[in-house]
A and B are shown apart, each in its own frame.
Chain A
Amino acid sequence: MTVIRPDRRHLLLAGGALALSGCDGLVRNAQAQCTVKKAEQVSKRTQRALARDALAPEYEEKDISKDFRANGSVDPSAAEYRALKANDFRDYQLIVDGLVETPLALSLAELRGLPSRTQITKHDCVEGWTSIGKWKGARLSAVLNRARLKPEAKFVVFHCFDALDQTEDGERYYTSVDIREAYHEQTILAYEMNDEILPIKHGAPIRLRLERQLGYKMAKYIKRIEAVESFAHIGRGKGGYWEDRGYEWYAGI
């Protein structure tokens, strides 16, 4: 009637025990992982609808962190990178290709000649820490405008010099953003940090600043920018080095 009969009682207790021991099995289940991953799209759509083109908060000189942490690669071992570094990146050229009308090879001097932006922003690492730094760089929109994106370009992929395993033929770091985020006002290719030339450990000669997402989207040691319609054919197809390893492509949360 209104009360639990003993058999139902045992069923409840057994169900509870099963649920607890099943949690870990569940999170390992591939089908379940696939379902859970769908929340990323909900977060992306909701947050973007709320944020639109709003700027990430900017801070003052006094807020700059004294010990901005360098994460991931801090000194790429690739031979081509070491050669460029030995010559203070005077021979460096940023390649811009893929779905563009005018492929580019920009020297650092040419990059510095493009419309720039300076911003003091916070850097939130996926691990949980935060550092604040001042960045100056060429606006990515200016670079893309000069290369003239083809209409079918949907994403911009950043190919980097560094391999996190520090081997010559290791998987190189890469990540991608969509056109909307690429054209955001604060999205810059930084060549200066805290009023000095971008240090090696923070991604010299240029790194991406994507202020409304987490640190792993802000590729360091950028070698080449490729405009694509889809990133399915690159790496393992998830749009980035960490994305290929289970991290969200949309890192706004």
Chain B
Amino acid sequence: MTRPDRPLGPDRVATWRHPWPVRLTHWVNVICLVFLLMTGLQILKAHPHLYWGLDSTFDDAWISFGTIPGWLTLPGYRDLAAGRNWHFFFAWIFVANGMLYLLYILFSGRLARMMEPSREELAHIPDSVVEHAKLKFPEGEAARTYNVIQKLTYLVVLLILLPMMLVTGLGMSPMMNAAIPELLPILGGRQSARTLHFIAAMGITAFAVVHVLLVFLSGPLNNLRSMVTGWYVIRTEPEPSEETSDDRDPS
């Protein structure tokens, strides 16, 4: 699935980063998550209190939201029925899309090749954290692969947070409670499932915010281009100059 580099001049080279199944499922996922988040907030709005345990003990919600503004919800006005219909529609697309993606990264070897951190990388997590905090991004050959923080973050999101959305969502379905009776006790009860669904959604939202922020800080067009065309541009000989932009068109 990898393609040879394409030289773009004396010090720049386009490397093959994202094959089409990754690009396609990435953007389908973006659409799904936007709809799922906004319709999910519409659903939360119907009873904006969260509890732990099996049932709702109405006087001790661990968190209550006063009002959830309309601009955060779909539809923009209060409509639980429509919110639910759209939520489950995109939930199905999200699941089908996610399955395709997971099967792809597993069988193409992408998971092991691009996201599994080596022992050495794991030993250097503190350095990577410091570099991230300074907003210093790998350049040159080091930019050819994901750094260790990236790898770990993607693994947590892809293998824990996103599947957790599905599992906690199913845990809230009364018919699924009958079909898989083990699920609710594992999640700690129906209201814990609802709470965990919310926490995972907030985790994914936090990831998305930081993800987009880092995309913009580390060369927005190069990053966007790689997720649209598949090609990511790196400098072959990083210069210690002030210039950090990779955004100019090299052609």
B43–A128 CB distance below 8 A: yes
Smallest beta-carbon distance A203→chain B, Å: 18
Residues of B within 8 A of A20 (CB): 34
Q: Does A122 count as interface, using CB distance less than 8 angstroms? A: yes
Question: Which A residues from 195 to 245 make CB contacts under 8 A with B?
Answer: 211-214, 242, 245
Please report the total number of A residues contacting B with Cβ < 8 Å: 59
Residues of B within 8 A of A59 (CB): 54
Bound: A253/B175 CA distance, A: 7
Please report the total number of B residues contacting A with Cβ < 8 Å: 57
Contact A130-B191, Cβ < 8 Å, known A125-B47, A213-B174, A213-B175: yes
Contact of B58 among A37, A52, A63, A67 (CB under 8 A): A67
Contact A130-B190, Cβ < 8 Å, known A3-B249, A253-B176: yes
Q: Does B86 count as interface, using CB distance less than 8 angstroms? A: yes
A252–B174 CB distance below 8 A: yes
Bound: A51/B84 CA distance, A: 21
B250–A3 CB distance below 8 A: yes
Q: Does B244 count as interface, using CB distance less than 8 angstroms? A: no
Question: Which B residues from 173 to 190 make CB contacts under 8 A with A?
Answer: 173-181, 184, 190
Contact A246-B79, Cβ < 8 Å, known A47-B173, A67-B58: yes
Question: Which B residues from 56 to 101 make CB contacts under 8 A with A?
Answer: 56-59, 74-76, 79-82, 84-86, 88-89, 91-92
Bound: A103/B177 CA distance, A: 35
B184–A24 CB distance below 8 A: no
Bound: A212/B175 CA distance, A: 5
A57–B177 CB distance below 8 A: yes
- The residue in chain A whose Cβ has the minimal distance to the Cβ of B229 is A2
- The residue in chain A whose Cβ has the minimal distance to the Cβ of B83 is A27
Smallest beta-carbon distance B251→chain A, Å: 5
| B residues at A contact (CB < 8 Å) | 6, 8, 14, 31, 34-35, 38, 43-44, 46-47, 49, 51, 54-59, 74-76, 79-82, 84-86, 88-89, 91-92, 172-181, 184, 190-191, 194, 221, 224-225, 228-229, 231, 233, 249-251
25 example contacts (A-B, Cβ-Cβ < 8 A) are as follows A2-B6, A2-B14, A3-B251, A4-B229, A12-B224, A12-B228, A23-B35, A24-B75, A33-B85, A36-B86, A43-B92, A47-B176, A67-B57, A122-B54, A122-B55, A122-B174, A122-B190, A124-B190, A126-B46, A128-B194, A129-B51, A212-B177, A242-B81, A247-B80, A252-B174
| A residues at B contact (CB < 8 Å) | 1-6, 9, 12, 19-20, 23-24, 27-28, 33, 35-40, 42-43, 47-48, 50-52, 54-57, 59, 63, 65, 67, 69, 122, 124-132, 211-214, 242, 245-248, 251-253
